[in-house]
Amino acid sequence: MTYFIIGAIAIVALSMLPMIYRMVKGPDASDRVVALDSIGVALISLIGLFSIVVETSYFLEIILLLAILSFIGTVAFSKFIEKGDIIDRDNSSK
């Protein structure tokens, strides 16, 4: 069973190479954001598989933290692409 998990780690790690390429050379900013989000998901799965190999549950907090940071980063980048500003400072409501 361990060999299958190590094989899965190798496959996920190799699948990250095209994602890194797309993040660096992406034709558009939205492609880069999608590649960065995909890298986050692949990194979460790598840590989960590694946690199974070493038979510990201490990495689950790291997985949760990475998932939260990946979500916040994706929302911030998409808002920046859409509006050009992440935090709206509208002073007209005063």
94 domain residue, yes or no? no
- Position 41: which residue type? V
* Structural domain range at position 32: 2-83
3-state DSSP assignment of residue 84: coil
pTM for this prediction:
0.80
Q: For 11-60, what is each residue's pLDDT tens digit?
A: 999 999 999 999 999 888 888 889 999 999 999 999 999 999 999 989 99
13 domain residue, yes or no? yes
DSSP string, 1-56: -HHHHHHHHHHHHHHHHHHHHHHHH-SSHHHHHHHHHHHHHHHHHHHHHHHHHHT-
Q: How many domains does the chain have?
A: 1
91 domain residue, yes or no? no
33 domain residue, yes or no? yes
pLDDT value for 90: 67
Q: Is the pLDDT confidence value at 74 over 90?
A: no
pLDDT value for 16: 95
Q: Is the pLDDT confidence value at 94 over 60?
A: no
93 domain residue, yes or no? no
Please identify which residue in the block is written with the tokens 């799965």.
45
